[in-house]
Structure 1
């Protein structure tokens, strides 16, 4: 059975027996089937290097993929991964500059919880733990079966301490914890 390009890429990523170097070689071989400036090929090559801890090599490939017109579900992945790479390289402000607009778009972002997770991590790296906790709690709140409004209020409180909630905001008896 002949596999598509995407299926072969996915198979490489799914193979946990591969070393980082083997994964890079295989991804590069599959990527070479496309033009050198193909955004998907650049993105996959970046990801292989990023996963291997080769952030400096990954950065330029992520940037090239985005500049070449990467689209679809890979675009938010590339933004998240590039921002994470920049954070790991100590370029926290650049990472925040990439993640902030994605986070602020909220529901319009396909991977909004993933964006929030990496935005929160980057805020911690930037020395803003209260803002990070607020982002994390705001992302978690919609998934809660109870205490959603309380958690949302606490998330807001962390970034606006002058606007403290004075009562349970849920409309039902929930102890504030």
Structure 2
């Protein structure tokens, strides 16, 4: 099958998902992933199709394939970021908290400007009992990104106390 055929089939499947026909999209993507087992983009879209349907356990191997294939030149940076977030979030939902933290921590280091990665990392840290680190991440993110005037007014204090939530005088 040539690249034009692959591209057309992939576009059709993604279009089905975007139009709310998730089960049909998933079936087509599974077939496409079988034809192109080393294709990072196909694997990523297949993982996403499973996640949308709440089939997290089935999504994990496709995220893995997408990221393994991406070690070369498989995914765009935006799709790599999405695959890392999807994998980390999915691992957390499955109760695989330590793996989620490892995945999301690495992703947040690779894409430090992405607040969603830090947010999902904070959730996974909470699940591992690292409550202080979880709150610290969320407070830093809140202070850096909030448009709320009252939060902006206290930004420096929030950033300061985020470093040591147990600080007293």
What range describes the TM-score normalised by the shorter chain of this pair?
A: 0.7 to 0.9
| 1:93 pairs with 2:95 | no
| Partners of 2:18 and 2:129 in 1: CA distance | 35
Please show how residues 20-99 of structure 1 align to structure 2 within 5 Å: 20-28=22-30, 31=32, 35-69=36-70, 70-72=74-76, 73-99=78-104
Q: Please state how far the C-alpha of 1:75 moved relative to its aligned partner.
A: 0.7
Distance 1:110 1:132, change over 3 A: closer
Gapped runs of 5+ residues in structure 2? 1-6, 147-151
Q: Please state how far the C-alpha of 1:96 moved relative to its aligned partner.
A: 0.8
**TM-score for both structures, normalised by structure 2:** 0.76
| Partners of 2:112 and 2:12 in 1: CA distance | 24
Aligned residues: 153
| Partners of 2:156 and 2:14 in 1: CA distance | 39
Gapped runs of 5+ residues in structure 1? 167-177
Question: Partner of 1:114 in structure 2?
Answer: 116
Q: Please state how far the C-alpha of 1:39 moved relative to its aligned partner.
A: 0.2
Q: Please state how far the C-alpha of 1:74 moved relative to its aligned partner.
A: 0.8
Cα RMSD for the two superposed structures:
2.6
Structure 1 or 2, whichever has the larger Rg, is: 1
